C-alpha cells in the first residue's frame, strides 16, 4: 500500500459533529446517546479533498482518548505538523492520528479515481456483520434484541450480568454465532470474577472479548490459558506494537482490529499481518462511526482473511440520518454490509447534513 506523498495540504478543517444514535449504546464502561466526533477535511495542494473521522468517545472511558482531548491534539499538534510537512512527534492518540491519515488517504484515492478498499487490496464487496447487543435491563430485553438481529450477535456483559443473559441466548439459539464483550471489567484476582468467567466456557461462545484490564496483557494471557473459549482483545490494542506484545504473550486468540483505535488503515493492516504470522484470527470492530469512519473501517474489513464477522453494520442500524451519501447499506442479506466501492472512501459527505450537525469548526491553513 503506497502512502500519500507530495506536498503538505493547503488547508485542514476540523468539525465537531453531534449525531443522535437511534438507541443509546450501553456498555460496562458507560452510555453513549449521541456520537460526538471530529470530522477532518483535508484540502491537498492540488485541490484534491479527503475526509477522515476521529471516532473517540465523548469521555475517556473506553480508551484514554476522548473527543475534547482529540480536538485539542488535532488542532494544536497533529494538523499544524501536517501543514508544515513535518512529523508530529505525538505519542499515543491513535484515533486523532487515524482521522488525519484517513483524510489524506481518501484524497489520494479520489485523485487516483479508485476506491480506498481497492487501494488496500479488497477481497470482498460485502462482509458479514455482527450486531452488538448492549447491556440489557432484563434477560427478556436481551433476548428481544438478539431476536431482532439479522445474524451473528455479540452481547455486552459485566460482572454480575453474564451467565444469565448468555445462557438464555444460547438456549434459545443453540447454533447461532454468539460472542460476548466484557469491556475489561473482570479482575482475575477476585474469586467471584474468575469463577464467573470459567462458567461461560461451556456456552460455545465464538469468542470472549476483552475480559480483563486492557492495561494488563498478562491478565489476558492468564484468561486465555484458563478458557477454551478464544479470548479476543480490543481496548488493550492501541498500536501495532501492542498487538505484537499481545501475540508474543499468547494473550489473544482473536484480534479485534479497529482502524481508529490502532492509528488508521495502515496500522490496522500492519496489525493484521502480525496476527496472520502468528496464526491468530482477526475481525474489524466498530466505534459507532458515522459514515466517514464506517466506510474507512469497511475498506479494511474487505481486505481481511477469515470468516469472523465485523461489528460494522449499515448506517441505519445506528443513525436515522447519516452524514454521508449514499448511506452505508446492507448487502445480499440483512446480515451483510456493503463495502463502499466509489472513489476514495466510496461515500460522499452530505455538506448540508454535516453543517446541520456541526457544533464547532476551526480552519487551519499553511
Residues at the contact surface with Mg ion, assessed by CB under 5 A: 181, 209, 234
**Given the complex with Mg ion, which of 101 and 209 has the nearer CB atom?**
209
- Rank residues 119 and 258 by Cβ distance to Mg ion and give the closer one: 258
Neighbours of 91 (CB within 10 A): 6
Q: Shortest Cβ distance from residue 159 to Mg ion (Å)?
A: 16
- Catalytic residue (choose from 156, 261, 266, 353): 156
154 an active-site residue?
no
Locus of grid cell 447487543: 133
With cell 470474577, the residue in question is 193
Check 258, 261, 294, 317 and give the catalytic one.
258
Q: Shortest Cβ contact with Mg ion: which residue? A: 234
**CB nearer Mg ion, residue 234 or residue 350:** 234
Instruction: Concatenate the DSSP letters of all residues of 79-120 into one string.
Output: HHHHHHTS-----S-HHHHHHHHHHHHHHHHHHHT-BHHHHH
Beta carbon nearer to Mg ion, 209 or 322: 209
Which lies closer to Mg ion via its Cβ, residue 53 or residue 234? 234
**Cα–Cα dist 126/138, whole Å:** 34
CB of 346 to Mg ion, least distance (A): 25
Query: What's the closest the beta carbon of residue 228 comes to Mg ion, in angstroms?
Result: 20
Q: Is 190 exposed, middle or buried (0-12, 13-18, 19+ CB in 10 A)?
A: exposed
User: In 114-242, at which residue ranges do the beta strands (DSSP E only) sit?
Assistant: 126-128, 131-133, 153-156, 178-181, 208-209, 231-233
What span, in angstroms and rounded, lies between the C-alpha atoms of 8 and 273? Answer: 29
Q: Which residues have a Cβ under 8 Å from the Cβ of 305 and sit 6 or more positions away?
A: 123, 276, 282
| 29-270-340-127 Cα dihedral, nearest 10 degrees | -70
Instruction: Say whether 156 is catalytic.
Output: yes
Active site residues per annotation: 156, 258
Amino acid at each position: 500500500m503506497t502512502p500519500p506523498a507530495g506536498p503538505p495540504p493547503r488547508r485542514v478543517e476540523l468539525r465537531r459533529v453531534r449525531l443522535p444514535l437511534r438507541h443509546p449504546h450501553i456498555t460496562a464502561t458507560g452510555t453513549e446517546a449521541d456520537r460526538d466526533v471530529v470530522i477532518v477535511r483535508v484540502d491537498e495542494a492540488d485541490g484534491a479533498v479527503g475526509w477522515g473521522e476521529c471516532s473517540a468517545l465523548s469521555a475517556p472511558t473506553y480508551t484514554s482518548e476522548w473527543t475534547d482531548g482529540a480536538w485539542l491534539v488535532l488542532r494544536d499538534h497533529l494538523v499544524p505538523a501536517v501543514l508544515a510537512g513535518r512529523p508530529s512527534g505525538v505519542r499515543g492518540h491513535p484515533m486523532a492520528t487515524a482521522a488525519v491519515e484517513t483524510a489524506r488517504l481518501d484524497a489520494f484515492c479520489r485523485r487516483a479515481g479508485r476506491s480506498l478498499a481497492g487501494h488496500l487490496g479488497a477481497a470482498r464487496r460485502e462482509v458479514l456483520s455482527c450486531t452488538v447487543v448492549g447491556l440489557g435491563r432484563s434477560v427478556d430485553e436481551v433476548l428481544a434484541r438478539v431476536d431482532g438481529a439479522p445474524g451473528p450477535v455479540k452481547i455486552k456483559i459485566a460482572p454480575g450480568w453474564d451467565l444469565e443473559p448468555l445462557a438464555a441466548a444460547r438456549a434459545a439459539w443453540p447454533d447461532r454465532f454468539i460472542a460476548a464483550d466484557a469491556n475489561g471489567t473482570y479482575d482475575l484476582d477476585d474469586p467471584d470474577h474468575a469463577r464467573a468467567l470459567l462458567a461461560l466456557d461451556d456456552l460455545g461462545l465464538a469468542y470472549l472479548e476483552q475480559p480483563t484490564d486492557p492495561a494488563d496483557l498478562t491478565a489476558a494471557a492468564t484468561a486465555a490459558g484458563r478458557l477454551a473459549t478464544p479470548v479476543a482483545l480490543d481496548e488493550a490494542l492501541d498500536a501495532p506494537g501492542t498487538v505484537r506484545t499481545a501475540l508474543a504473550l499468547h494473550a489473544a486468540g482473536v484480534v479485534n482490529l479497529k482502524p481508529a483505535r490502532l492509528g488508521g488503515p495502515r496500522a490496522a493492516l500492519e496489525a493484521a499481518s502480525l496476527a496472520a504470522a502468528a496464526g491468530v484470527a482477526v475481525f474489524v470492530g466498530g466505534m459507532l462511526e458515522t459514515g466517514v469512519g464506517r466506510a474507512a473501517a469497511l475498506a479494511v474489513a474487505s481486505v481481511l482473511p477469515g470468516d469472523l464477522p465485523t461489528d460494522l453494520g449499515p448506517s441505519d442500524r445506528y443513525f436515522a440520518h447519516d452524514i454521508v451519501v449514499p448511506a452505508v447499506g446492507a448487502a445480499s442479506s440483512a446480515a451483510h454490509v456493503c463495502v463502499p466501492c466509489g472513489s476514495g472512501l466510496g461515500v460522499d459527505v452530505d455538506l448540508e447534513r454535516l453543517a446541520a450537525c456541526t457544533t464547532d469548526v476551526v480552519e487551519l491553513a499553511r
